[in-house]
């Protein structure tokens, strides 16, 4: 029975990983498009990152909460930790895209190539954070609450016929 439980647990983690990956694809496509459009039309990397972050974070949170981790009751207890993980990711992306923008600004004349490279740095930042974010979301943000311990340790035992 123990081996079967282990297989089910691994299958559950793989399914969770697949759902997280799918939600990340949706969020990435939306935020990457928003970033490229904003930056391509001349906004600063920080503003483009902010717009892209909002564009991707809202669907990511909703999909992950409802579909990936199946949190149906809107307790909101995961909102603050999710916001912290998300904001830290956005700040890192803003730093990376600003540095990339400064590097390519004087070296590459084509704005289209600048947009492609700065957008790639935005995507790369989130790609680098992908696994870390999964671990944080799974272990801390959307972690299942442990079952309450019984006050009477004997109540948890199976009764023995006498």
Give the pLDDT of residue 143: 84
**DSSP conformation class of 49:** H
pLDDT at 158 over 60: no
What pLDDT digit, counting tens, does each position of 61-117 carry? 999 999 999 876 666 788 889 999 999 999 999 999 999 999 999 899 999 999 999
Statement: residue 144 has pLDDT above 60? yes
Question: According to the model, what pLDDT value does residue 116 have?
Answer: 96
Encoded tokens for 83: 């916001």
- The pLDDT score that the predictor gives to residue 149 is 61
Q: What is the pLDDT of residue 70?
A: 86
pLDDT tens for residues 7-45?
777 788 899 999 999 999 999 999 999 999 999 999 999
For 104-139, give the DSSP string.
Answer: HHTT---HHHHHHHHHHHHHHHHHHHHHHHHHHIII
């Amino acid at each position: 029975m123990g081996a079967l439980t282990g297989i089910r647990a691994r299958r559950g983690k793989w399914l969770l990983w697949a759902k997280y990956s799918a939600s990340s694809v949706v969020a990435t496509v939306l935020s990457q498009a928003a970033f490229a459009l904003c930056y391509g039309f001349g906004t600063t990397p920080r503003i483009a990152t902010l717009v892209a972050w909002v564009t991707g974070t809202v669907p990511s949170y909703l999909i992950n909460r409802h579909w990936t981790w199946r949190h149906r009751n809107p307790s909101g207890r995961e909102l603050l930790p999710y916001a912290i993980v998300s904001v830290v990711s956005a700040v890192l992306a803003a730093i990376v895209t600003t540095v990339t923008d400064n590097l390519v600004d004087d070296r590459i004349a084509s704005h289209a190539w600048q947009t492609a490279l700065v957008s790639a740095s935005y995507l790369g930042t989130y790609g680098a954070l992908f696994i870390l974010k999964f671990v944080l979301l799974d272990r801390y943000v959307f972690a299942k609450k442990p079952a309450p311990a019984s006050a009477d340790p004997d109540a948890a035992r199976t009764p023995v016929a006498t």
